[in-house]
Amino acid sequence: MKSKKRIAVCMELIWPYNRHIMINSGIVEYSTEHTDWQLEQCEYPEVFMARGTKYDGIIGRISKACYEKAAELNIPTVNVWMNSPVRKSIPTVAQDYSETGRIAAEHLIARGFKRIVHIGYKKCYSTKLHLQGVQMVAREHGLSCSSYRVSLKMDENSTEWTKFVSDIQKFQSGWKAPVGIAVVNDEISRSLASMLIYFGWKIPEEAAIVGAGKNDLICNSTNPTLSTIALACHERGYFAAGLLDKILRGEKVANEEHFLPSKELVVGESSDIYAVDDPYLAKALKYISNNSDRELSVDHIAKTVGMSRRTLEYKFKKKLNRTINGEIIRLRIERLKRLLLETDQPVKSLCSEVGFGTNSHMHNIFKRYTGMTPTQFRKKHITSRAKT
């Protein structure tokens, strides 16, 4: 009887992070569906390899020590740790945090925020990518973005926590309300929200917060509840296991990063507001956001909010520096981008879902605003995550 391949899985599940658990579940699902692997949870495979344990493959959060020992023994490894010091030396499946940052910034700007702040960790790769996405969108809208960093160990002990509180106190002293804050994960979001409330800020009226990770235990247990972006954690584990399977079957897999897109933005109380001082404009923005996938006319929107078309158009141009039609198109394009990346639906079937009347109209508008067709956009962004 052929023995099962022995695979070490190092995911540090003792940490209460939803992303670790979901990546692990993706690994398990792929293994169950496609292989006869024997998965062994092992946080430090290098220790057991040094004792003579023989693994056929290793997958998970790969440290330098693990990588070096595995390389010495010619054992294939696949990494899912964004901050791994060896992520460029072996196949790595990563979250596209640049896209995650774009989603957060688009949401905040669509809600009327003109002052954008980014908060992440010091010396953190995912923070670097997330900031790039936020800054890219801010520049597209003619806005600036202030960036701040906190320690990765911010909540490990009272000394680190005191430093975190001191940092937030210093950061917020230079902010002017209303401010939209894009945060690299839900863990910082939770602590940030508490500290801002402590320092007298009203959330979301004065400070709107969007995190990432969709950790429901965190996002739904705080007051206010937190807006967050769901990441492709389960998919990362599944994809990574597929890469390891390919290697074990003798296929060539490049030592490069494979980025997977985010899934969706879940709006909580921490950003559920429109940061404009005009109630008619706020009502119009909310109506457009909720109905951008439907047929909309400027006359109908003006009638819905209770003012003339001319007056509403003037308010949009003066307060937001964009037209009503421009806002409708912007929201439709952003929704189309997410559908192109998050689903495998044929492009021609998406025009009705995003509110474009015809397929040709959708193609023309999308190319005018992005410089490429929907098909080109999809191919460009999924090239590095070829199907397993």
pLDDT digits (tens, 9 = 90+) for 61-70: 999 999 999 9
For residue 107, the model assigns a pLDDT of 92
Q: Please check the confidence at residue 248 and state whether its pLDDT lies above 90.
A: yes
Are the CB atoms for 228 and 213 separated by under 8 Å? yes
The C-alpha atoms of residue 18 and residue 12 are separated, in whole angstroms, by 11
| Summary mean pLDDT of the chain | 91
At residue 242 the predicted structure's pLDDT band, cuts being 50, 70 and 90, is very high
Least confident of 145-154, 223-232, 324-333: 324-333
165 compared with 339, residue with greater pLDDT: 165
At residue 74 the predicted structure's pLDDT band, cuts being 50, 70 and 90, is very high
For residue 2, the model assigns a pLDDT of 66
220 compared with 85, residue with greater pLDDT: 85
Pick left, alpha or beta for residue 235 (phi over 0 → left; psi -120 to 50 → alpha; otherwise beta): alpha
pLDDT digits (tens, 9 = 90+) for 181-204: 999 999 999 999 999 999 999 999
Q: Please check the confidence at residue 383 and state whether its pLDDT lies above 60.
A: no
- Domains with residue ranges and CATH for the chain: 6-94+233-261 (3.40.50.2300), 97-231 (3.40.50.2300), 279-369 (1.10.10.60)
pLDDT digits (tens, 9 = 90+) for 280-318: 888 898 888 888 888 889 999 999 999 999 999 998 888
Q: Please check the confidence at residue 342 and state whether its pLDDT lies above 80.
A: no
Q: Please check the confidence at residue 131 and state whether its pLDDT lies above 70.
A: yes
For residue 382, the model assigns a pLDDT of 60
101 compared with 220, residue with greater pLDDT: 101
**Helix axes of 233-248 and 18-34: crossing angle, nearest 10 degrees:** 40
Q: Please check the confidence at residue 258 and state whether its pLDDT lies above 70.
A: yes
